[in-house]
Structure 1
């Protein structure tokens, strides 16, 4: 009986020991599973860095001076149109020709009338000079000399009239050729060969010197920060087009409370007139609290960052961001220098998620 009791006690002790060992193993397994389920993240520190003060604003690219070209005579047919949109032209180059046969005839007639008047003037001059010599010898009367003098003056007036008529005919003939008033780029063509045109109708557009500018509307609080000469950067198609502010409106619109800036673009390629692009106006040097741009998460129309608390859980913070330069974004509100934020893995986090802090390369690899 005693031996049986001893055996039973031994079995109970062994069972208790096995149960205790099993509990420790389960706890260890649960802890390991929890650690493996935590999302690996990397951290970065918010710090003050030199950063140029800029103003971000969007606006259109336009021609600095776009000239609307037309002819000054009416009812003539277009016979030649040697230029097309996008073509570079030189000052004085013929852009369009009208039917000038009638104008050529009028000019020839005016030339003939002028030659006839000049011949009459020369004859009147010679008659007067001969008569003046005779009058000195008292061979003709003074009244006859006066008549010859009047005839000479009348002939001179007729010559002047004929010359003016010839010049007018030549001017009308010149109007049949529309010439480029300056070097530039043809930006629009509104006429076709064979079309009968009227005076004052726009036929072509010319961007003077091919010069473009960028215009932007700024609210009054930002307009006070910019000045003539500030650099402008326009990122587009993988390139950055550089310019400089040429003019700033002296006041603001009473309705919109905005003002306009005009920036010259010395080398605008690849920008074209009519494009609407976002630009950065550099207003000066300064410092900003920055974090990597990858740490910022956009949700519900707001910007957030995540930190890691003592329990290795993600904590979400709303921030107000500024400009972004070279992968760094300025933080205007919501953080202070020295705060650590999640970079790699931030986009997958939610409030209270378990995280595991690792090196940046490991988090990115995961």
Structure 2
């Protein structure tokens, strides 16, 4: 006959069994909750791909040649100023005119003095010609012939002096009209009509042929990578302006340890003098280890990426980045080809966070 357990022992056994069953359910529930709370992420592989070698540097847009224009006479009042800033002018076009009434009077007086000297020269020439015939017939003395010859030479000298004075007066009159020395664009106007100006004072500025260039200073280690003829890409105003390096300084500044490059802008478009633009200098073709730019997280002034370990936890890695082209960034250090990094969701991760790897579209939708 089987022994029967006491009622109290039976109840205790049931309680233990029920407690054990409840623990398994709680563990399963905890595991399910952990899985559902893990952040869905997508992965991408670091891979080698062709990428043009470039140098990024900022610099100003400047005039290739900006002429500072002024007049060469002082104390005259501006009577005409037919140009405005931004106006295109042709070579020889009148830009500014001074009061020239006094100069016109001086020129007229010089012209009259020249005509008087020419008349005296002609008379001296005729007298000398007649005296030569008389001297041949021994009708006048040799000394008289010499005097007439000297008079002719003196008249010629007076004519030359009068002509030089007339030319000087004409030159001063021409100085009253400031004309464009070349085709170009008026970039600055520093004078107003009615103003009395001085010689040598800057009155107007002219960008010769409207031609602009981009200048940038590079440290010595980057200066060695660029060369005359390299392409420069300047993104501005929704478009990319292409230029070409025209010149590179042969040395570096002893104080700043930098050198300057000059890039022609044949079609500057929206660029204006004084604009500061970041340019990309294409120095050649090459290979680079790249990952999607979205995988890179900037924290504490450094670049990081995340990978996923065997425990489905995020692991952070510090990387050194290079140029970014078409959504991919070159990795200079911190990764090797074939490494997988988190792309979608990387910005929300921290070291040790639990993750769940899904397809890229699902991770982005989450």
| Length-normalised TM-score, structure 2 | 0.93
Q: Deviations over 1:91-139 (max 9, x none)?
A: 1111111110100111111111111111121222222222323333333
- Partner residue of 2:143? 143
Q: Deviations over 1:185-235 (max 9, x none)?
A: 111111111111110111111111111111111111111111111111112
- Partner residue of 1:234? 234
Unaligned stretches of 5+ residues in structure 2: none
- Partner residue of 1:127? 127
Deviation at 1:11, TM superposition (A): 8.1
Q: Deviations over 1:19-62 (max 9, x none)?
A: 56544443333222222211111111000011111111111111
1:243-322 alignment runs, 5 A limit: 243-322=243-322
Deviation at 1:7, TM superposition (A): 9.9
Between the aligned partners of 1:158 and 1:25, the Cα distance in structure 2 is 127
Q: Deviations over 1:255-279 (max 9, x none)?
A: 1111111111111122111112211
1:37-186 alignment runs, 5 A limit: 37-186=37-186
Q: Deviations over 1:295-324 (max 9, x none)?
A: 111000000001111111111100000011
- Partner residue of 1:349? 349
- Partner residue of 1:210? 210
1:29-40 alignment runs, 5 A limit: 29-40=29-40
Which stretch shifts more, 87-96 or 231-240?
231-240
Between the aligned partners of 2:106 and 2:135, the Cα distance in structure 1 is 43
1:219 counterpart = 2:219? yes
Structure 2 SS opposite 1:143: helix
**Aligned-residue RMSD, C-alpha:** 2.2
Structure 2 SS opposite 1:227: coil
1:7-26 alignment runs, 5 A limit: 22-26=22-26
Deviation at 1:180, TM superposition (A): 0.9
Between the two proteins, the alignment pairs up a number of residues equal to: 364
1:327 counterpart = 2:322? no
Between the aligned partners of 2:303 and 2:135, the Cα distance in structure 1 is 108
Between the aligned partners of 1:143 and 1:258, the Cα distance in structure 2 is 80
Between the aligned partners of 2:362 and 2:87, the Cα distance in structure 1 is 56
Between the aligned partners of 2:108 and 2:361, the Cα distance in structure 1 is 88
Which stretch shifts more, 18-27 or 353-362?
18-27
Deviation at 1:8, TM superposition (A): 9.3
Between the aligned partners of 1:209 and 1:144, the Cα distance in structure 2 is 65
Between the aligned partners of 2:357 and 2:88, the Cα distance in structure 1 is 61
Between the aligned partners of 1:81 and 1:342, the Cα distance in structure 2 is 66
Between the aligned partners of 2:25 and 2:269, the Cα distance in structure 1 is 69
Which stretch shifts more, 80-89 or 41-50?
80-89
Between the aligned partners of 2:106 and 2:361, the Cα distance in structure 1 is 86
